[in-house]
């Protein structure tokens, strides 16, 4: 990988573009450098194996104010540029189907939730690189029309750990990162310093770019085309810290991808190489405000995916407790 200062003119001004460009060969070396295949048992909990009962105890003990902040976007049934496969919500009883008393009101929900419209967790079977899921499992052998036999969300269970908010707009004194802005290792360490928090073993790292605020003010856009997120050059730092989970108000990847021939390189590194599930499409606005008010960017984070056997992830409503 070329150094950041080598950013070609035209890929954006230094620090605001998605570069530097990364060749496929560089990417593959990076993939090998961060991968943890063979390290964990059970393998399909991946990096969540890092979160021991000790981590859980410390994370719960670190609660201060008791303020609870949910991180999910509203279930979105309207299609749009960031909601290509709109979620379903159908009322199935309006007090007139099941006999009263009492009368009952029921609904059906459904979603093809991967994408940009639904807050969700990616399980380890969601991503394969060069045909292999995390731990080197051949995707073609273990995922079929009935679901995944390795790396399913049902194998993950819930996560209770310390969360850290990397609130880049707060650090930079701006309203949001523009779509396409890459977040680099230096941004992470600068944020740690500015926010008074250090990412450590077993942590859930949530990257706020201000996506939801920008959408509220300027309207929706297609995050597949342009989105703020991590450049792959930030991944070795996060890997070295032993993170358990990455999340964000985007999907962790800067887009357009700076990596030749790889549309979602952070997905490939985190999920397939490191066994780190991802939380996509969070609403981090209220958490940003609460953290600023508390002057504290760490909190208890609870992520409780639905237990879908063979599932590739789950819609979730992660909960931060400050």
Q: Enumerate residues 111-170 that contact a second copy by CB under 8 A.
A: 111-114, 119, 125-131, 139-140, 143-148, 154, 157-158, 160
Residue 198 lies near a second copy (rule: CB under 8 A): no
Residue 84 lies near a second copy (rule: CB under 8 A): yes
- Least separation in angstroms between residue 294's CB and a second copy is 12
| Choice between 276 and 300, CB closer to a second copy | 300
Under a CB-based contact definition with an 8 Å cutoff, are residues 316 and 120 in contact?
yes
| Choice between 160 and 170, CB closer to a second copy | 160
Interacting residues of 35 by C-beta distance below 8 A, sequence separation 6+: 272, 273, 274
Q: Which of 2, 11, 16, 104 touches a second copy (CB under 8 A)?
A: 104
- Least separation in angstroms between residue 115's CB and a second copy is 8
| Choice between 168 and 212, CB closer to a second copy | 212
User: b/e for 309-318, b at 16 or more Cβ within 10 A?
Assistant: ebbbbbbbeb
Please give the size of the binding site for a second copy, defined by CB under 8 A.
100
- Least separation in angstroms between residue 244's CB and a second copy is 13
Under a CB-based contact definition with an 8 Å cutoff, are residues 246 and 238 in contact?
yes
Q: Which of 10, 53, 173, 295 touches a second copy (CB under 8 A)?
A: 53
| Choice between 126 and 208, CB closer to a second copy | 126
A 10 A CB-CB count for 81 gives 14
Token pair listed for 289: 């405000």
Residue 314 lies near a second copy (rule: CB under 8 A): yes
Residue 91 lies near a second copy (rule: CB under 8 A): yes
Stretch that binds a second copy, among 7-15, 38-46, 101-109, 227-235 (CB under 8 A): 101-109
Cα dihedral 208, 26, 6, 253, rounded to 10, equals -20
Under DSSP, the state recorded for 132 is B
Q: 253 by DSSP, 3-state: which?
A: strand
Q: Which of 57, 136, 198, 293 touches a second copy (CB under 8 A)?
A: 57
Q: Tokens 């609130």 appear where?
A: 167
Residue 9 lies near a second copy (rule: CB under 8 A): no
β pairing state of 120-122 and 147-148:
unpaired
Question: Phi and psi for 30 in degrees, rounded to 5?
Answer: -65, -45
Interacting residues of 287 by C-beta distance below 8 A, sequence separation 6+: 69, 71, 165, 206, 208, 299, 320
Residue 34 lies near a second copy (rule: CB under 8 A): no
Residues 232 to 271 in contact with a second copy, rule: CB under 8 A: 261-264, 267-268, 271
């Amino acid at each position: 990988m070329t150094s950041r200062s080598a950013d070609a003119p035209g890929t954006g001004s230094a620090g605001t573009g998605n570069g530097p460009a990364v060749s496929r060969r560089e990417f593959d070396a990076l993939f090998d450098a961060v991968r943890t295949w063979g390290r964990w048992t059970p393998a399909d909990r991946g990096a969540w194996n890092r979160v021991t009962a000790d981590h859980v105890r410390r994370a719960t003990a670190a609660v201060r104010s008791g303020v609870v902040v949910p991180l999910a976007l509203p279930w979105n049934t309207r299609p749009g540029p960031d909601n290509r496969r709109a979620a379903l919500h159908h009322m199935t009883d309006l007090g007139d189907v099941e006999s009263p008393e009492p009368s009952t009101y029921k609904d059906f929900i459904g979603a093809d939730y991967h994408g940009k419209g639904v807050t969700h967790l990616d399980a380890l079977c969601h991503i394969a690189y060069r045909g292999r899921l995390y731990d080197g499992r051949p995707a073609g052998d273990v995922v079929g029309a009935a679901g995944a036999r390795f790396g399913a969300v049902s194998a993950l269970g819930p996560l209770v750990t310390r969360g850290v908010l990397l609130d880049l707009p707060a650090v930079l004194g701006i309203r949001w990162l523009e779509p396409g802005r890459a977040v680099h290792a230096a941004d992470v360490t600068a944020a740690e310093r500015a926010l008074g928090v250090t990412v450590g073993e077993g942590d859930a790292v949530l990257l706020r770019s201000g996506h939801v605020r920008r959408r509220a003010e300027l309207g929706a856009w297609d995050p597949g085309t342009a989105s703020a997120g991590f450049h792959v050059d930030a991944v070795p730092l996060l890997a070295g810290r032993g993170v358990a989970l990455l999340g964000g108000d985007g999907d962790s990847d800067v887009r357009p991808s700076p990596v030749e021939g790889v549309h979602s390189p952070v997905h490939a590194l985190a999920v397939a190489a490191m066994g780190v599930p991802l939380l996509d499409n969070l609403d981090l606005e209220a958490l940003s405000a609460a953290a600023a008010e508390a002057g504290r960017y760490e909190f208890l984070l609870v992520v409780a995916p639905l237990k879908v056997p063979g599932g590739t992830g789950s819609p979730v409503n992660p909960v931060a407790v400050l």
